[in-house]
Structure 1
Amino acid sequence: MSECLLINLLTIIGCYALICYLYDNLKSPYILIRDYVNQKFFGKKLKSLTERFGKWAVVTGSTDGIGKYYARELARKGFNVVLISRTESKLKAIASEIEKEFGVEVKIIVADFSHGAKIYKTIEDALDNIPIGLLVNNVGHSTPEQGMMFAFSSKELWDVINVNIGAVTELSRYFLLRMQQSGIKGGIVNVSSCTELCPVPHGAIYAASKAYNRSLTLALQYEARRYGIHVQLLSPHFIVTKLNSYSTSIMRGNLFIPDPETYARWAVSTIGRVDKTTGYFWHGVQYAAAKVLPTYIITFLVEVFAPSVVDRLRVL
């Protein structure tokens, strides 16, 4: 009898774990497929992004990679955009490109997020009179190479902390407060990374910053929900961007490693519809597969295979 009870208990635990896993990984795809079917076959129309969030969006880190193509895709959807990045010449070039191609209004703000807290007053003053309804917290930074954390200077590590943790924290605070006080039912997209799932040897500080991003964003979803503000966690895997230029093999791209334009088109289509997503179907497959394994196994595999993927590891 006791053996039978034990088997039944283990079966219940196994079924519960499977249900939780399936719910966590299939909820977002189900919503996206349901919406597609409703539109395609039943003529049900979703509100456009501009109908839901207004006409103005902000994108940080918008001169390269995901940020650049996020801004372009939002402009394609009819948004006026505010571009925030550190290089004025690039900002002006991309602003001109977007204005000419999509016929929207574009403003730029020059800001280097690695400089820390002192930059935010200037950013917030510049944004105060613009009716922003959507923020894309995209700006991200990594160490110049992958390698042992103690092989990097204090400044190199603080640059990652100031950009990856400081920006998502302060801009989320500012916009949530602003939206709550003005009654705007806006949206915030916090761009994280698949490295949020586990410790990453040779990329420790970057992965830790993304674990912070994930935890913060999931908590903010509960805090913002009562005000009708949508907060999305976006967790991409590898994309062909400058951030991954430490690896020749990653920069070649493939089905699982898209270019930023392809990725942004997929990801923008999920805004306002799901709370957390990788933003790209094949990244979702990878993310679900990774979550089957215990954290310590993933970390071990990263440590073993990183040298074969990275062109050069910095060591002392």
Structure 2
Amino acid sequence: MEAPAWFLSFAPIGALYVTTLCLRLLSYLALCLRRPKDLRRSYGSWAVITGPTSGLGRSMARELAGLGLNLVLVGRDPAKLRVLSDAITRSHGIETKTVVFDLSLVSTAQGDEAMQRLREAVDGLDVGVLVNNAAVAKPGAMFLHEAGVEPLMRIVRVNLLALTQVTAAVLPGMVARGRGAVVNIGSGSSLALPSFPLFSVYVATKRYVAAFSRSLYAEYKSKGIDVQCQAPFLLNTNMISSAVRGSFFPVFVVTPDACARAAVRWIGHGGPLCVPNIAHRFQWWISGFAPEVLLDAYRLAQHLQQRAVFSFLRERPEGRGKKQVQENGLTSYHC
């Protein structure tokens, strides 16, 4: 039985679409094989990293230290910053500075004081790389009307306002030296998916990161500064629950160390928006085949399951549920 003429007329369009996706995948593979930049020589001898004491931020700090870059570590916990700083100094023989800065206090009097400390810390340093890694996804899977205003505003302050202010504090030195790289950690949830229900504020801030990076890329490329939004998908950190982790193929849930190795290799390559890890890139590629209505329905169903788990744990006797939530990372999500 022959296919109808109207069906055959769409065949070239489908072939063109598949060909385009395959060419994108091949171009990505070609970039994976190229030689990474010497970051210290290309950009400068210091790197600034926010949120460096756990997860991807800690792995990025170790990876950059391994390449010989000195580090300015920006985080809210002085004890954890000190432990990380000492460990990196011992293992890599580099210089480190720490700046205690609770980024959720940005645009307050305390936040202004911390921002001034950061400016003083980087003053006179040859800062070549800035990694805006710090992010918040708490309170987790909730309808907007269920979440308190303050937790939602904390997401906005950390993911959006603090990232903007830290970038504005470091960029002038890069402009004066005529070189530098700004790496803003985005999210695959805002890149490959049409929606991210029950995490609406989180995903909206991550879309800001992508748009902000794209415009800065155009603004500063001629000044010798590479600006890039790197968008990981699922990472095996405390921002992803064990329930979520188990619902995906293990190959798609990448360790922070593996993601950081790929991320550092991609600095200065791949344009203003990239997905460095090949497993994550494959997730992005295959998501392009699914209709948006199916992606919306699937993601909503997944997040409703998470919401049910969160509610169950919160209703447990005082202490037990809270402790389990913290241990399993069930108050937040990273994608």
Q: What does residue 98 of structure 1 align with?
A: 88
Residue 184 (structure 2) pairs with residue 187 (structure 1) = no
Q: What does residue 133 of structure 2 align with?
A: 138
User: How far apart in 1 are the matches of 2:181 and 2:147?
Assistant: 36
Q: What does residue 145 of structure 2 align with?
A: 150
User: How far apart in 1 are the matches of 2:201 and 2:228?
Assistant: 23
User: How far apart in 2 are the matches of 1:224 and 1:25?
Assistant: 28
User: How far apart in 2 are the matches of 1:50 and 1:192?
Assistant: 24
- The amino acid of 2:288's aligned partner reads K
Sequence identity (%):
26
Contact 1:146–1:314 under 8 Å retained in 2: no
1:25 deviation in Å? 4.7
Tell me the secondary structure at the aligned position of residue 199 of structure 1: coil
User: How far apart in 1 are the matches of 2:76 and 2:243?
Assistant: 26
Q: Structure 2: which 5+ runs fail to align?
A: 313-335
Contact 2:37–2:265 under 8 Å retained in 1: no
TM-score, length-scaled by structure 2: 0.81
Superposed CA RMSD: 2.7
- The amino acid of 1:139's aligned partner reads A
Runs of 4+ in 1 over 6 A off after TM superposition: 3-8
Q: What does residue 56 of structure 1 align with?
A: 46
Q: What does residue 290 of structure 2 align with?
A: 293
Q: Structure 1: which 5+ runs fail to align?
A: 37-45
Tell me the secondary structure at the aligned position of residue 179 of structure 2: coil
User: How far apart in 2 are the matches of 1:251 and 1:121?
Assistant: 43
Q: Which moved more, 1:304-313 or 1:219-228?
A: 304-313
1:12 deviation in Å? 6.6
Residue 15 (structure 2) pairs with residue 28 (structure 1) = no
TM-score, length-scaled by structure 1: 0.85
User: How far apart in 2 are the matches of 1:256 and 1:47?
Assistant: 27
User: How far apart in 2 are the matches of 1:281 and 1:139?
Assistant: 23
Aligned match for 1:274, one of 267, 270, 273: 270
User: What is the total number of aligned residue pairs between the two structures?
Assistant: 301
Aligned match for 1:219, one of 215, 219, 241: 215
Q: What does residue 241 of structure 1 align with?
A: 237
User: How far apart in 1 are the matches of 2:187 and 2:232?
Assistant: 5
User: How far apart in 2 are the matches of 1:165 and 1:205?
Assistant: 11
1:183 deviation in Å? 3.3
1:296 deviation in Å? 3.5
Aligned match for 2:62, one of 60, 72, 92: 72
User: How far apart in 2 are the matches of 1:12 and 1:97?
Assistant: 57
Aligned pairs for 1:151-190 (under 5 A) are 151-180=146-175, 182-190=176-184
1:69 deviation in Å? 0.9
User: How far apart in 1 are the matches of 2:63 and 2:20?
Assistant: 34
Contact 1:247–1:310 under 8 Å retained in 2: no
Tell me the secondary structure at the aligned position of residue 206 of structure 2: helix
Q: Which moved more, 1:290-299 or 1:47-56?
A: 290-299
Q: What does residue 40 of structure 1 align with?
A: none
1:19 deviation in Å? 5.5
Aligned match for 1:265, one of 245, 255, 261: 261
Contact 1:62–1:84 under 8 Å retained in 2: yes
Q: 1:173 to 1:12 in 2, by over 3 A?
A: farther
